[in-house]
Chain A
Amino acid sequence: MITKKSSKILKYTLAYIAAILFLFPLYVIFNNSLKPFADVRISEMWIPARNISFEGYAEAFVKLGQNIQNSFMLVIPVSLFSVVFGAIIGFIFAKVKFRYSNIIFAFVIFGMFIPYQSILIPLVRTMNTVGLYGHLSGLIVTHIIYGLPISSLMFRNYYAKLPDELLEAGMIDGLRLAGVFHKVVVPVSLPTMVVVLIWQFTSVWNDFLFAVTLTQRPSIQPITVALQNLAGTQVIEWNVQMAGALIAAIPTLLVYIFLGKYFIQGLLSGSVKG
């Protein structure tokens, strides 16, 4: 009994030490983003802020406000289209049997694992040819296309579990395949729609590679690129950089805190099997 109790105490201690280590970078970010300009230079990063100030946030907002807006204009259409296309593709692969469908689906899925560097040069050339290079719409199209594998995988895994009888009952009632999809399948798809929506929202918000290659003009750059540029200039003080980092993190953090269940579900489906 004594060993059992002491093992429990040990576990608590370790679990909370781990939690403190995980939160420690957050202390750095909050502490330094709240210091006034006058304090950043002289004060050590680790010493708690004495004079709380929002100067850093004010300046970060001036510098990054437009980019936050760009990021929202990017992630909202991408997430919505990913849900629509992902549901259609996922449904067909889950419930309509056609020749080679498994092999074709494997090729679809492989698209989410490739290093995007291997398609980057042709992508830039193509976007240039069709006139979308350097426009937010080009980035939107890119993210929708390369988001198709993961979105269809999530929907396929979910639809594969729907009982065939449910759909066949719809057919007996005289519905065609499209009708079954629309009237029977879509209404029960809400949980997966949320998972895909959240997944695409966070991964596109957090993307850097496509954004930095396809958007050169600062006025259309998403937040990750703007934050990197802001942090890359040595003259900018830490408080602004830390405030900027927090501002860039807040939308996805909020999604995680309030919709964590769906976020984790999306995360775990990244390992292919549902």
Chain B
Amino acid sequence: MYCAKKDRRIAVLILLPMLLLLFIFVYGFIAWSLRISFTDWNSIIPNMTLVGFENYARLFESQRFQTDIRNTISFTLFFLVICIVGGFFLSYLLYSKLRGESVLRTIYLFPLSLSFVVTGVLWRWIFSPEVGINSLFRMMGFKATFGWFTSTYSIMGFNVALIALIIAASWQYLGYTMAMFLAGLRGIPDQLIESAQIDGAGELATMWYIILPIIKPITFSAMIVLGHISLKIFDLAYAMTGKGPAFVTDFPGLFMFETTFRGNHYAEGAAISIIMLILVAVVIVPYLYSTLRGDSE
């Protein structure tokens, strides 16, 4: 837009203090955390002696952090697959013009407006091994003894205790992918589908040749957004399960919070947070680059 030089200067002057504050709180603080992660500050008294990568080395050797990384990978994988497949499925049901569609949509989406703490408190009771879903199965005559989030079983490195958390998180986020896919499906011109059907394409063929190519970029965005949420997961695990026996439901976010604010291991906590940041950046930076590049004229 055309804009006088003087006006542009005023605009930049207004912007400057706000951006400065934001950049200090984001990038300044990240740099500060990075510095802390290289120090020996692992007690209540700040100690800024530099020790190189010692905190990182100790983390990667620790049982707990190794379990955390495994849990993060398992959780992310299942959470993404369920939300994307399930979300697409629900959006497709709604797309086929069912009666009561707006009520259904409202129902699929409402968990998204809740706090992870509410979800956690609620689902902790539902999966509680004594009084939860097990007792429902017992009422139906089954012998239910599965420990859910207290179980220490693991199948090929996957801690089965995570199932409860994956279900709770998917319950909350399925609506999100559903809404994204539905918005995409609604964007397909009716004529396109109609003309395909006139040409004799059945429901499956329409799905394969018209619908899937259109939802591909949406799937990509959904993977990025959900992926970065699950890499950062904290509230839900904190409220629902805690770290669990032998860390079966532990995540880097929980470890960081505990070791920093309960154990006063500030340098170790900072190191965990930097690793989390790197994981998120690996996912987000290419995505931001590709979306914002398309924007610039």
Q: Which residues of A contact B (CB under 8 A)?
A: 7-8, 11-12, 14-16, 18-19, 22-23, 25, 28-29, 32, 44-46, 85, 88-89, 92, 95-98, 102, 104-111, 113-123, 126, 145-146, 148-149, 160, 164, 167-168, 171, 176-178, 202, 205-209, 212-213, 224, 227-228, 231, 238, 241-242, 244-245, 248-249, 252-253, 255-257, 260, 263-264, 267-268, 270-273
Contact = CB atoms under 8 A, between A and B. Distances in A.
Interface in B109-146: 109-118, 120-126, 131-132, 135-136, 139
Given A115-B253, A119-B30, A95 B1 contact: yes
Nearest to B2: A168
A121 B1 CA distance: 42
Given A44-B139, A108-B19, A145-B22, A263 B113 contact: yes
A222 to B, nearest CB: 10
B75 to A, nearest CB: 15
Contact of A241 (B96, B125, B225): B125
Q: Which of A22, A45, A102, A145 has the most B CB atoms < 10 Å from its CB?
A: A22
Interface in B221-239: 221-222, 224-225, 228, 231-232, 234-235, 238-239
Interface of B: 1-4, 7-8, 10-12, 14-15, 18-19, 21-23, 25-30, 32-33, 36, 90, 93-94, 96, 98, 103-104, 106-118, 120-126, 131-132, 135-136, 139, 171, 176, 179-180, 183, 203, 221-222, 224-225, 228, 231-232, 234-235, 238-239, 252-253, 256-257, 260-261, 266, 269-270, 272-274, 276-277, 280, 284-285, 287-289, 291-292, 295-296
A45 B131 contact: yes
B292 A89 contact: no
Q: Which of B11, B253, B256 has the most A CB atoms < 10 Å from its CB?
A: B11
Q: Which of A8, A95, A96, A253 has the most B CB atoms < 10 Å from its CB?
A: A96
B115 A110 contact: no
A241 B118 CA distance: 10
B140 to A, nearest CB: 10
Given A114-B26, A119-B30, 4 more contacts: A25-B122, A44-B131, A96-B7, A120-B256
Contacts of B292: 102, 105-106, 109, 272
B179 A264 contact: yes
B164 to A, nearest CB: 13
Contacts of A92: 11-12, 14-15
Nearest to A149: B22
A168 B126 contact: no
Which 5 pairs, one residue from A and one from B, show the smallest C-beta to C-beta distance? A206-B115, A177-B7, A256-B113, A119-B29, A122-B29
28 contacts: A7-B203, A15-B104, A22-B107, A25-B123, A88-B18, A95-B1, A96-B1, A96-B7, A102-B295, A111-B26, A113-B280, A117-B232, A120-B260, A148-B18, A164-B1, A171-B2, A177-B4, A177-B8, A177-B10, A205-B115, A224-B117, A224-B118, A241-B125, A242-B125, A249-B115, A252-B115, A272-B221, A273-B221
A88 B14 contact: yes
A201 B157 CA distance: 40
Q: Which of B3, B36, B124 has the most A CB atoms < 10 Å from its CB?
A: B3
A272 B4 CA distance: 29
Contacts of A267: 112, 176, 179
Contacts of B33: 118-122
A250 B231 CA distance: 28
A19 B19 contact: no
A176 B26 CA distance: 33
Contacts of B131: 44-45
A56 to B, nearest CB: 13
A108 B27 CA distance: 10
A98 B238 contact: no
A8 B276 CA distance: 46
A224 B225 CA distance: 23
